DNA sequence: GGGCTGACAGAATTTGAAATCTGTCATCTG
DNA sequence: CAGATGACAGATTTCAAATTCTGTCAGCCC
């Protein structure tokens, strides 16, 4: 049916679709192959294992998030506003996926459980972006963080409840956004004057 | 064999033991009854359902933690030191149980997943204790938190990664204690001068 | 020849029948 | 008569057989 050549990207599109429909527990490589009208052997030509395919789907989603955040990181202007906007975006991204694509979100969560390298790299990337914003804040005289990268890791840790998928059960708590606002205020305040470590 | 009367506490002791040995997935009410040399009907006389029994075991463990923390809350002295000590104790308690009684810890984690009332109450209690310490800190001129209870909830949220069981997978991360120290410094700093919300 | 296919072995998952467990309650016992 | 018992129905779990899937590869096709 489909005439186009089989590329990793087309496979990823199909895999994402299959995961969305069947969820991480039911989706098979055979399903992905069927969706593309090819044999499963062809899928294995592009992805060594099923885990590699799943990781690639997740990596692509994480890359999209990261790119979106990087725009905020790179933009100039008040570091405090940028930090807020950056975290708001991160939290909103996660919550939106959890709401609109629960099955795809489950795939991503499962990956987190298994502490795969992909997630570690993503977290390091996010911490580095935060570190960058905080360093800018230091330059602007808004913050006084002696070790911006460590402060970045700390801000990411401290907001984990609001963006780490393992906490999904708490995301329906009506007090969540009040808690988020309070944490953010506390953190920004902490970055401003003090010597955090 | 055992001559003593059957009390809820004896049942809880036995249930805790069975959970420790078999884990939450394998432990049955029949096992608990066997351990006590009674019929399972007798256990149901004291606990309406298996879930109620499991909740009671967890509640007792949480109460022990809470009592230990309350001593720190109630003690006088520098609020900042107390806040640190309180959080250190909370984190240490959780990590110790995770290490020494993984099966019992799994029971407790499962409860958290199911967002039972028991856990909600425990969290509210912890937040209130933190609120109390922060209020003391305000009085001592160490902190400047306009809403101590909200600040308490915020501190609990911000340190969730280090004590909430859902994060257990990350507790083996070698950078964890560095992150914990950085978060704590940031939070204490935030409480000191600012107006968090 | 580069890329795709489908047969294949071993691993993982599904299935359904048998075993066990949960929760109730009529009955027993001290 | 307060408290314990064990038989019971329905729900859940277990186990082993059968199916399906993963990953490989010799050969096919364009």
pLDDT by residue (tens digit) across B103-138? 999 999 988 888 788 999 999 999 999 999 999 999
Q: Cβ contact (<8 Å) for A191 and B186?
A: yes
User: What integer is the mean pLDDT of B28-39?
Assistant: 97
Spatial neighbors of B81 by CB under 8 A, at least 6 apart, are none
Span CA (A39) to C1' (D21), Å = 13
Distances in Å between the alpha carbon of B24 and those of A193, B104, B179?
A: 47, 7, 31
Q: Judge whether residue B76 contacts strand D, using its CB and a 7 Å cut-off.
A: no
A137 close to A80: Cβ distance less than 8 angstroms: yes
Distances in Å between the alpha carbon of A186 and those of A101, B109, B185?
A: 32, 28, 11
| Tens-place pLDDT, residues A111-127 | 888 878 899 999 999 99
Span CA (A60) to C1' (D20), Å = 29
A184 close to B159: Cβ distance less than 8 angstroms: no
Q: H/E element holding A186? A: helix A176-193
Nearest to A197 by CA among A162, A129, A148, A141: A148
Q: Nearest residue to nucleotide D7 when comparing alpha carbons to its C1'?
A: B41
Q: Write the burial class of residue B72 (CB in 10 Å: 0-12 exposed, 13-18 middle, 19+ buried).
A: buried
For the CA atoms of chain B, what is the radius of gyration?
A: 19
B143 close to B134: Cβ distance less than 8 angstroms: yes
In this prediction, residue A119 carries a pLDDT of 94
User: Coil, strand or helix: which one is A7?
Assistant: coil
For residue A161, list chain B residues with Cβ-Cβ distance below 8 A.
157-158, 160-161, 164
Of A167, A179, A191, the CB nearest to B166: A167
Residue B195 binned pLDDT confidence (cut-offs 50, 70, 90): low
Q: Which of A134, A168, A196 to mutate to test the interface with B (most CBs of B within 10 A)?
A: A196
Q: How far apart are CA B158 and CA A181, in angstroms?
A: 11
CATH of B3-46, one of 3.40.50.10190, 1.10.10.60, 1.10.150.20, 3.10.400.10: 1.10.10.60
In this prediction, residue B185 carries a pLDDT of 97
A130 close to A80: Cβ distance less than 8 angstroms: no
Q: How far apart are CA A109 and CA B194, in angstroms?
A: 36
Which residue ranges make up each domain of chain B?
Answer: 3-46, 62-192
Q: How far apart are CA A177 and CA A167, in angstroms?
A: 14
Residue B48, nucleotide of least CA–C1' distance: C23
Q: Cβ contact (<8 Å) for B164 and A167?
A: yes
Q: How far is A152 from chain B (nearest CA, A)?
A: 10
| Tens-place pLDDT, residues B142-176 | 999 999 999 999 999 999 999 999 999 999 999 99
Distances in Å between the alpha carbon of B162 and those of A57, A152, A160, A164, B158?
A: 29, 17, 10, 13, 9
Q: According to CATH, what is the number of the domain A62-192?
A: 1.10.357.10
What is the model's pTM?
Answer: 0.93
Taking CA–CA distances from A148, the nearest residue in chain B reads: B182
Strand D-proximal residues of A, range 22-41, CB below 7 A, are 28-31, 40-41
| Tens-place pLDDT, residues B72-83 | 999 989 999 999
| Tens-place pLDDT, residues A74-89 | 998 999 999 999 999 9
Residues of chain A with pLDDT under 70: 1-3, 194-197
- DSSP assignment of B107-157 equals HHHHHHHTT-HHHHHHHHHHHHHHHHHHHHHHHTTS---SSHHHHHHHHHH
Span CA (B2) to C1' (C29), Å = 18
């Amino acid at each position: 049916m489909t005439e186009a050549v089989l590329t990793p990207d087309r496979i990823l599109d199909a895999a994402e679709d299959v995961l969305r429909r069947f969820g991480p527990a039911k989706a098979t490589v055979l399903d992905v192959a069927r969706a593309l009208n090819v044999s499963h052997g062809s899928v294995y030509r592009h992805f060594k294992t099923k885990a590699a395919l799943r990781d690639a789907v997740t990596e692509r989603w994480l890359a999209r998030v990261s790119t979106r955040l990087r725009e905020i990181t790179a933009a100039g202007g008040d570091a405090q506003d940028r930090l807020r906007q950056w975290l708001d975006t991160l939290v909103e991204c996660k919550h939106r996926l959890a709401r609109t694509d629960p099955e795809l979100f489950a795939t991503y969560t499962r990956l987190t459980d298994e502490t795969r390298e992909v997630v570690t790299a993503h977290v390091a990337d996010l911490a580095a972006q935060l570190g960058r914003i905080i360093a800018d804040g230091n330059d602007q005289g808004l913050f006084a963080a002696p070790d911006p990268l460590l402060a970045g890791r700390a801000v990411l840790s401290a907001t984990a409840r609001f963006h780490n998928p393992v906490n999904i059960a708490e995301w329906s708590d009506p007090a969540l956004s009040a808690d988020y606002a309070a944490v953010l205020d506390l953190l920004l305040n902490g970055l401003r004057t003090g010597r955090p470590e």
